[in-house]
Amino acid sequence: MAPTRVVGYVRLSRESADSTSVARQRQIIEAHAKGRGWELVDTIDDVDVSASKRRLDRPGLTRVRALIAGGKAEAVLVWRLDRLARSVVDFGTLLDDGLNVVSCTEPLDTTTAMGRAMAEVLQVFAALESRTIGDRLRSTIAYRVGQGDRWRGGPTPYGYKSVPHPSGDGKTLAIDATEAAYVRQAAEIVLSGGSLYKAMTTLTSNGSTPRRATAWSLSSLRVVLTGDSVLGRQSRHGAPLRDDTGVIATPWEPILTVSDAERLRAVLQARPLATTRRKASRLLSGLLTCESCGSRLRVNSRRAQGAQVESYGCRANGDGKVCPRPASINADQVEAFLVGEFLSVAGRLTVVERRAVVRDVIGLAEVEEAIRHTTDAMREPGADIPALVERLSALTGSRNELAARPVEPVIETVETGETYGERWERSDTNERRAALESVLMGPVPVVAIGRGYRRVDADRVLAPWPWLDEYAAQYVDPGWTDARPLVAPWAPLDPSGVGPEIDPDWSG
């Protein structure tokens, strides 16, 4: 029985402007339905979706099957049969499920017995064409990869652009100056102690976007920073290509050095992505103590005159301890006071950071990396041990020639060109608290006063600043000259002996 209501289905593996485009397929489907007097209830798209890879798991096709199963349409109308399926098995599944198919450009109508038999024959040839295309594509990729500095095709890695190879044969990669600058900026933020979240927001605010999304995410930025592409490498079957000596090949100019890339991986592997972001604690959480009993002050919240008011208070008595004079102080006021005290001295000074710098011997990092990869490969099932031992021996000889002793990181004190006041303005709560922790010589005792008094000053908030006479002798920072006040760097790499021992996750 001929259908009266049909649903159109359009699929394209990659959008283009040729005769197979989505717009062209839609036009053909609409014209065919109109010419045969059928009602076209809807036309559903699957764009940038491969029938070979996704099989029947396609959102558009799922909707089409639901419409037909629900009785809203009696058949699916396609430009060509291979738009619907490229596998004989998949097409047979659709027919067994009762899906009637009509092709606009082929003599195919599965509502008849002859049409169903014809569809099955055509589908055999569609599957053959798909396999032929796959074989041809794999052969092309293998050829390009074998040439060393040819780009195999596919999505270009972030930080690079595809350009014609100088020989005129195929494509190669060149650094995209704008994107590479963003990669280096993000790497510098993380290697200087910043979070991946901070690097992501900085790139976003500077106008950077990933290739296939409207905004960076933590996972997408992590993939870029820890991938082999930023080292100018090309992979095949998930493994980086190597030269004859076992060293990983670098056919294109790298964006980052091997040492920086390895440090990034070590840092980011030690900082697993959080699935949720916890509510930020207040600026002084964990830094204030009760002058009477030494307990840490916790954040209290209450309503006063219709507004929510927060304070830092001693809860020793509630915890079963004895405090003769529990301290309590308005949170906004004490934070404003301490920030004012800090910035009045440090606000105009240049931020100084301590950074670990690895002095590379040229080629040493690459050889050491190749040695690690080779020893790892020896532990794999079915490993070619004799070949790997030979490679390891050659690599060890190369390493001995490049360096007689291991290269140690050097800690450098670097002026950033940014003042503490400027850094404070662009920092979040956690970063600001870290700055105060790095400067203060210990927890900040708060003196209790009588009810009704709201005085907040240096007599009540006993901040142990390093520039005060009673604390100055305890603090020595080789990064600062005698001509400058004793203010610690923003985030020292080794804060031992500097500042209070504060648990940064203590939420109060």
Q: What CATH number did the domain enclosing 188 receive?
A: 3.90.1750.20
255, 230 contact by CB (below 8 A): yes
88, 52 contact by CB (below 8 A): no
pTM of the model: 0.38
Q: What SS3 state is found at 396?
A: helix
Tokens at residue 330, please? 């308005």
> CA-to-CA distance for 452 and 468, rounded, in angstroms?
30
Asked if residue 96 is part of any domain, the answer here is: yes
Residues 431 and 466 in one domain: yes
Residue-wise pLDDT tens digits, 229-268: 888 777 654 555 555 555 566 677 888 888 788 888 877 7
Asked if residue 275 is part of any domain, the answer here is: no
Residue-wise pLDDT tens digits, 430-467: 888 878 887 788 899 999 887 656 788 888 999 988 77
Tokens at residue 165, please? 């190879």
Asked if residue 142 is part of any domain, the answer here is: no
Residues 38 and 181 in one domain: no
Asked if residue 368 is part of any domain, the answer here is: yes
Angle, alpha carbons 209-239-397 (nearest 5°): 120
Nearest to 179 by CA among 252, 230, 223: 230
Residues 251 and 338 in one domain: no
Residues 303 and 444 in one domain: yes
Residues 390 and 449 in one domain: no
Asked if residue 500 is part of any domain, the answer here is: no
Residue-wise pLDDT tens digits, 2-60: 678 999 999 987 644 344 688 889 999 999 999 999 999 999 998 888 777 778 888 89
Q: 386-390, 396-400, 459-463: which has the minimum mean pLDDT?
A: 396-400
Count: domains in the chain: 4
Asked if residue 145 is part of any domain, the answer here is: no
> CA-to-CA distance for 179 and 190, rounded, in angstroms?
17
478: buried, middle or exposed (CB in 10 Å: 19+, 13-18, 0-12)?
exposed
Q: Where is mean pLDDT largest: 51-55, 268-272, 289-293?
A: 289-293
Residues 204 and 232 in one domain: yes
Angle, alpha carbons 421-423-425 (nearest 5°): 70
Picking from 132, 148, 174, the residue at the C-terminal end of a domain is: 132
When computed from its CA atoms, the radius of gyration of the chain, rounded to whole angstroms, is: 33
Label each residue of 115-128 as H, E or C: HHHHHHHHHHHHHH
Q: State which H helix or E strand residue 143 sits in.
A: helix 113-146
Asked if residue 280 is part of any domain, the answer here is: no
Position 335 pLDDT exceeds 90 = yes
Residues 173 and 58 in one domain: no
Side-chain-facing half-sphere of 459: CA atoms under 13 Å = 3
Domain span holding position 265? 160-269
CB atoms within 10 A of CB 344: 10
Q: What is the CATH number of the domain that holds 58?
A: 3.40.50.1390
Residues 236 and 307 in one domain: no
Between 128 and 193, where is the model more confident? 193
Residues 259 and 317 in one domain: no
Q: What SS3 state is found at 275?
A: coil
pLDDT of residue 375: 81
Residues 254 and 340 in one domain: no
Strand partners, 78: 9, 103
Taking each helix axis as running N to C, give the angle between helix 331-346 and helix 429-439, from 0 to 180 degrees, rounded to the nearest 10: 60
Count the helices and strands in the chain (H runs, E runs): 15, 15
Asked if residue 493 is part of any domain, the answer here is: no
- Residue indicated by tokens 């059928």: 38
Residues 304 and 424 in one domain: yes
Residues 303 and 181 in one domain: no
